[in-house]
Amino acid sequence: MSVTTLFAISLGAILTNNFIFSQFLGCCPFLGVSKKIDTAVGMGLAVTFVMGLASAFCYGVNIILVKLGLDYMQTLAFILVIAGLVQFVEMFLKKSVPALYTALGVYLPLITTNCAVLGVALLNVQNNYNFIESVVYGITGGLGFLLAIFLFAAVREQLEFADNPKCFDGFPIALITAGLMALAFMGFSGLQVW
Amino acid sequence: MNFKKQFKEGLITQNPVLVQLLGMCSTMAITTSITNGLGMGLSVLVILTLSNIFIAMLRKIIPNEVRIACYVVVIAGFVTCVQLLLKAFLPALDKSLGVFIPLIVVNCIILGRAEAFANKNTVAASAVDGICQGLGYTAVLVVMCFVRELLGSGKLVGVQILPTSYTPALLLVLPVGGFLCLGTLIAVMQWALAKKDKKKEETKQ
């Protein structure tokens, strides 16, 4: 493993294989929590943090499962680990950063059902990443999510004033916008590290 | 219990994807071919029905404070069963759906129906609800697949449908097409529902 591999993984996770725009992981919070920039950034940071932690913990859990020959229980074990982690992050934030805790509100527990978090844990196993690669993939994947949700929230704040056909109000126009952004992100797909 | 009403709700007026806006990740990600769409839709239908039945059975036993955790464990159990079955009997489908089969665990439709329906209703009603909502989800997937596969590659289930002179709109098979296609479908749905409401009001007057 070298720095180049880690760099390639990061570049892929943030730009070329962005979790939202090319893998469709984490679309629910992406569309649900992107009406204002502040909350969107808060959500992005929280997701990044949980994704990093989840990659690290699930790596350990997976080793134990494989040793016991229980690797078919991956999904079940991972989701429990993630639910526990989110609970832990919630308690930690409540005690030490109460301002951020109140700002995130109901979205914090919802990170458990964010498919980007479970997705990253499963993809790490699928791609045979080692510990450092897994953590890097988790964190940079989260950063990619943060970038996407931040850009999207900025566009969406302006969309409020757009004069679109009535039946496109709300979600449809947001989805079309996301589609156009995905098109822009496709421009990165030629990037390669060699 | 009203089977007809539930069926209509699941398929149209309360469609999980187009009206309740749940479970959109998988809807956009895997709808590139009809086989994928049908496979995913039926898997979700089976899991949703089973988990609805199970949760409705346990609704008086599960303590309120930890109910979400209990639901997730039940759902993850069924998802693992389906995943193993697919791997054994339909390995090609399992491969093309990839990570989205285990990700059914965090599909909002299933958790949403458990929370909104199964923990308040009888076992039979919940089973019917699971089937109807699952059918609604499958229907949307198939429509999306149909549009994306036909226009994006000119083929359906691998058979050339459009004349070979047709240049495939490759855009639709790419991730972009998922966003655009679903956005348009939801818009059509909103338009249709608004029109129906208007008609109702007019007949009232």
DSSP state string for A19-39: TTTTT--SHHHHHHS-SSHHH
Predicted confidence (pLDDT) at residue B162 exceeds the cutoff of 80: no
> What residues have CB less than 8 Å from A77, skipping those under 6 apart?
A61, A65, A70
Predicted local distance difference test score (pLDDT) of residue B47: 93
User: Nearest-CA distance from B145 to chain A in Å?
Assistant: 16
Q: Please provide the average confidence, as pLDDT, over all residues in chain B.
A: 85
Q: State the pLDDT at residue A138.
A: 92
User: By the CB < 8 Å criterion, does A16 face chain B?
Assistant: no
In this complex, which of B76, B99, B171 lies closest to A119 when CB atoms are compared? B99
pLDDT of residue A1: 61
Q: Which two tokens stand for residue B178?
A: 């998922």
Chain segment A154-176, per-residue pLDDT in tens? 998 888 887 878 878 778 888 88
CA distance to partner chain B, nearest, from residue A15 (Å) = 14
Contact B84 A72 (CB under 8 A): yes
**How many CB atoms are closer than 10 A to CB A4?**
10
Higher per-residue pLDDT: A99 or B36: B36
Q: What is the pLDDT of residues A81-97, one digit of tens each?
A: 888 888 888 888 888 88
Q: How confident is the model at residue B48 (pLDDT cuts 50, 70, 90)?
A: very high
pLDDT (average), residues B93-105: 86
Give the range among A58-72, A143-157, B118-132, B165-179 with minimum mean pLDDT. Answer: B165-179
Mean pLDDT computed over B156-183: 80
Q: What is the pLDDT of residue B170?
A: 78
Q: Do B180 and A25 touch (CB under 8 A)?
A: no
Mean pLDDT of B37-58: 92
pLDDT score of B176: 85
Which pLDDT band, with edges at 50, 70 and 90, does A139 fall under? Answer: very high
Pick the more confident residue, B203 or B126. Answer: B126
A178 vs B: CB within 8 A: yes
Mean pLDDT of A135-159: 91
Does A75 sit within 8 Å of B80, measured CB to CB?
A: yes
Among A66-70, B168-172, B179-183, which stretch is predicted with the lowest mean pLDDT? B168-172
Cβ–Cβ of B99/A72 closer than 8 Å? Answer: no
**Across A146-150, B45-49, B92-96, least confident range:** B92-96
Q: Which residues contact B40 (CB under 8 A, 6 or more apart)?
A: B26, B30, B97, B100, B101, B141
* Least-confidence region, from A24-33, A55-64, B101-110: A24-33
Q: Among partner residues A118, A123, A173, which is closest to B105 by beta-carbon distance?
A: A118
| Chain A residue numbers touching B28 (CB-CB < 8 A) | 24, 27
Q: Given A22, A172, A180, which is nearest B190 (Cβ)?
A: A172
Element (H, E) at B159: strand B159-160
Of B73, B106, B171, the CB nearest to A118: B106
Tell me the pLDDT band of A194, cut-offs 50, 70 and 90.
low
Tell me which chain A residues have a C-beta less than 8 angstroms from the C-beta of B176.
Answer: 179-180, 182-183, 186
The pLDDT assigned to A192 comes to: 66
Of the candidates A27, A123, A180, which has its C-beta nearest B24's C-beta?
Answer: A27
Higher pLDDT residue, B45 or A6?
A: B45
pLDDT at B182 over 70: yes
Q: Can you give A91-157 as a three-state secondary structure string?
A: HHHHHHCHHHHHHHCCHHHHHHHCHHHHHHHHHHHHCCCCHHHHHHHHHHHHHHHHHHHHHHHHHHH
Identify the CA nearest to B133 among candidates B55, B19, B1, B57: B19
What confidence category does residue B52 fall into, taking pLDDT thresholds of 50, 70 and 90?
Answer: very high
Residues 129-168 of A with CB under 8 A from B: 165-168
